[in-house]
Amino acid sequence: MKAAVVGAGLMGSGIAQTCAQAGFEVVNIDTFPSAIDKAKANLEALFARKVTKGSMTEEKKEEILGRLTYSGSFEDVKGAAIVIEAVPEKIEIKKDTFRKVDEAADADTLIVSNTSGLSISEIASVTNRPDKVMGVHFFYPAPVMKLVELVRGLVTSNETYEKVKEFAGQIGKTTVDAPEYPGFMVNRILVPMQNEAAFMVMEGSRPEDVDNAMKLGCNHPMGPIELTDFVGIDTMLATMTGLYNGFHDSKYRPCPLLETMVKAGHLGKKTGQGFYKYDEKGNKIS
């Protein structure tokens, strides 16, 4: 069975890896050659480290890599039973991608979005197969995290849902049915907690105190401020803004400190400066 993943960034390349490891023939498509080059290099380096450590044989490495190809053309979605979109979290980019995939894919191909909170019904509306469209929200890093949220649009068919749920099981994921509301399930619960943590820092609490309180008091593996730096303060702000605009409820008002930090370019671990400082290797230094 062939699967196609559109988008070769961190999420897209991770989803492609997950599918290849599960035995699927996979094509990872991206219109930016640099993204493909980076995805290939990162995966080869990851597998090389696994071989060196003895957690993967050279034969297994070559077997998995042999199932994974890369392309810069949407035409290569032909023959895929399922296409997974993993492009940037902007509704117009998502819709443009779905238009192109819908035009190129076989008539019976299912098209799913890895969106973390955008409307599946709106994305599906630009296709000629809205009944074969739904959301499958993976979590980073995709090869490691066990959960995917399944999100049905207004006209997603029961047949599509059942096939996608089966596919998720085949690639080793546990599923939850999430409502088609902003943030779906996990982000609707998690991101407001991170936002509240940012408010506490803005009000004078030390980031390390906030993190330690949640790690030691609630047994969280990572504190909410650390997590915000990890995912990106710009990503966090965009998600919170989406919740606020979607629900029109003041409890989702983004923390002003997040807006200020984004304007300053302090985006977290990826820029070396967020609530904490990081060295070139991404290690926290203060």
Give the three-class secondary structure for 236. Answer: helix
d(CA 169, CA 173): 5
Give the three-class secondary structure for 82. Answer: strand
Q: Residue 58 is encoded by which pair of tokens?
A: 């050279």
Q: Which string of DSSP letters, residue by residue, matches 183-219? A: TTTHHHHHHHHHHHHHHHHHTT--HHHHHHHHHHHH-
Q: How far is CA 283 from CA 208, 226, 268, 278, in A?
A: 15, 12, 12, 5
- CA-based R_g, the chain, Å: 20
Phi-psi region of 73 (alpha: psi -120 to 50; beta: other; left: phi over 0): beta
Place of tokens 């302090």: 266
Residue 102 Cα to chain centre, angstroms:
21
**Annotated catalytic sites, by residue?**
116, 137, 149, 187
